Amino acid sequence: LAKTTQPISMDSYEGQEVNITCSHNNIATNDYITWYQQFPSQGPRFIIQGYKTKVTNEVASLFIPADRKSSTLSLPRVSLSDTAVYYCLVGQIGNNFNKFYFGSGTKLNVKP
């Protein structure tokens, strides 16, 4: 199982771009990289998912280098409401389902 390592916490200010890097050195060939956001006492919310290179959606971008041993979630112009825990997950695909093992996550604190 590919284990992920993220910074425990990060601080930022409103309007800044935030980049959260995740290390997954033993990622397998058929693993996807997925990022989730979680607010206190709520279930995680999907942010973005990718396999390689760059993926962008309306809320974030995901950068994955060629060796896929790390990935970076980029949140443009964060606001106070982006204060949450962000989890990087590497999932086993195939065999009809995708199991997720959550790491410690990164607690992002956005200040005014």
Partner 1 sequence: GAVVSQHPSWVICKSGTSVKIECRSLDFQATTMFWYRQFPKQSLMLMATSNEGSKATYEQGVEKDKFLINHASLTLSTLTVTSAHPEDSSFYICSAEGAWSYEQYFGPGTRLTVT
Applying CB under 8 A, which residues contact partner 1? 32, 34, 36, 41-46, 49, 87, 91, 93, 96-105
Give bridge partners of residue 99 from the DSSP assignment: 92
Minimum Å gap between C-beta 69 and partner 1 is 20
Q: Which is nearer to partner 1, 74 or 104 (CB)?
A: 104
3: tokens are 């284990």
Task: Give whichever of 34 and 71 is closer to partner 1, judged by the CB atom.
Answer: 34
What is d(CA 78, CA 37) in angstroms, rounded to the nearest whole number?
13
CB 18 within 8 A of CB 77: no
Tell the smallest beta-carbon distance from residue 100 to partner 1 (Å): 6
Nearer Cβ to partner 1, position 16 or 103?
103
Give the integer Cα–Cα distance in Å for 51 and 86.
18
- Least distance to partner 1, CB of residue 46, Å: 5
Q: Are strands 61-64 and 53-56 parallel, antiparallel or unpaired?
A: antiparallel
**Residue nearer to partner 1 on the CB measure, 75 or 86:** 86
